[in-house]
């Protein structure tokens, strides 16, 4: 039986592979991994000796029908060119580079291709993975990939045109959210007798509780705000400041991230 292949074992590769195993979406003996620096695989091989480890990417392709490429954006095409002779009509390639369009990959691999944008939160089986399959991927194949990611969080099938902003929402957002609340906690510490460490812990616990309320009670943002920001109260005054300042900040944020997506795409088009 063919294995599920993984090429690359960087930070996201480690998160997703370990999440697949720990969630029992994949068994260790179903997996074959190759990566440039094989010493990175010492710990996972020690924990799961059944995993097949090889430093040879073509061997991974030869032994797999489904191949995940957890390599940098600029390396995706090079890796495909390296393994192309070992692929078949049944080979299904999955890659996680949001800026790399399916048509670019299709230029070097005319077959089954899926683009996925997972989130760091997949490590704790939360968050949303964005998925876009090309027309060569069959229903059974798409359902299998979808099922893997549903085991480590939610997934959403999206049109490729929405991948950039979708990635900002799901993949970049943990960093954006952390930055916003880091500043909130810091300013709170400056205006109180609390240390910055104390305010960060209070904010983290409050953020966690707020997220659970929004999710578990199926509350909308407006409903939660109205339940806390009573008319004439203190929270309402803070909301007024946010209403005044935040729209421009997020306009600028999306303007800048979308601009960066376009720059990277143009660079990739010139290269490929």
**DSSP string for 176-214:** HHHHHHHHHHHHHHHTSSS-HHHHHHHHHHHHHHHHHHH
For 34-55, how does the pLDDT look when each residue is reduced to its tens digit (9 = 90+)? 998 888 899 999 999 999 999 8
Indicate whether 28 and 149 sit together in one domain.
yes
CATH value at residue 68: 3.40.50.720
Domain coverage including residue 212: 166-271
pTM of the predicted protein model:
0.91
Residue where a domain terminates, one of 101, 130, 158: 158
Number of domains the chain contains: 2
Indicate whether 43 and 72 sit together in one domain.
yes
Residue where a domain terminates, one of 116, 133, 158: 158
Indicate whether 253 and 148 sit together in one domain.
no
Q: ∠ at Cα 130 (126, 134), nearest 5°?
A: 150
For 188-237, how does the pLDDT look when each residue is reduced to its tens digit (9 = 90+)? 999 999 999 999 999 999 999 999 999 999 999 999 999 999 999 999 99
Indicate whether 146 and 44 sit together in one domain.
yes
Tokens for 263, please give them.
């720059």
Give the per-residue pLDDT at 37.
Answer: 84
The two beta strands, 128-133 and 112-117, are antiparallel
Give the per-residue pLDDT at 1.
Answer: 65
Q: Phi and psi of 219, rounded to 5°?
A: -85, 145
Indicate whether 140 and 7 sit together in one domain.
yes
CATH value at residue 214: 1.10.3730
Q: What is the mean pLDDT of residues 85-108?
A: 94
Residue with tokens 């720990």: 22
Q: What is the mean pLDDT of residues 148-168?
A: 96
């Amino acid at each position: 039986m063919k294995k599920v292949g993984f090429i690359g074992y960087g930070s996201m590769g480690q998160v997703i592979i370990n999440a697949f195993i720990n969630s029992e979406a994949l068994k260790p003996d179903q997996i074959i991994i190759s990566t440039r620096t094989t010493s990175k695989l010492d710990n996972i091989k020690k924990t799961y000796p059944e995993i097949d480890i090889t430093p040879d990417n073509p061997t991974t392709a030869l032994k797999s029908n489904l191949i995940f490429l957890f390599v940098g954006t600029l390396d995706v095409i090079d890796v495909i060119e390296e393994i192309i002779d070992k692929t078949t009509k049944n080979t299904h390639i999955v890659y996680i580079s949001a800026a790399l369009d399916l048509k670019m990959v299709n230029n070097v691999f005319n077959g089954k291709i899926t683009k996925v944008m997972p989130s760091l939160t997949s490590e704790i089986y939360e968050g949303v993975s964005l998925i876009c399959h090309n027309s060569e991927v069959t229903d059974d194949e798409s359902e299998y990939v979808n099922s893997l990611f549903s085991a480590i969080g939610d997934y959403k099938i999206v049109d490729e045109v929405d991948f950039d902003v979708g990635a900002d929402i799901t993949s970049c957002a943990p960093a954006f959210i952390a930055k916003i609340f880091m500043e909130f906690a810091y300013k709170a510490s400056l205006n109180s007798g609390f240390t910055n460490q104390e305010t960060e812990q209070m904010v983290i616990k409050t953020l966690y509780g707020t997220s659970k309320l929004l999710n578990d009670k199926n509350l909308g943002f407006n409903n939660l705000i109205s339940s806390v920001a009573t008319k004439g109260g203190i929270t309402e005054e803070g909301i007024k400041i946010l209403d005044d300042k935040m729209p421009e900040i997020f306009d600028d944020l999306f303007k800048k991230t979308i601009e960066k997506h376009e720059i990277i795409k143009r660079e990739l088009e010139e290269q490929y």
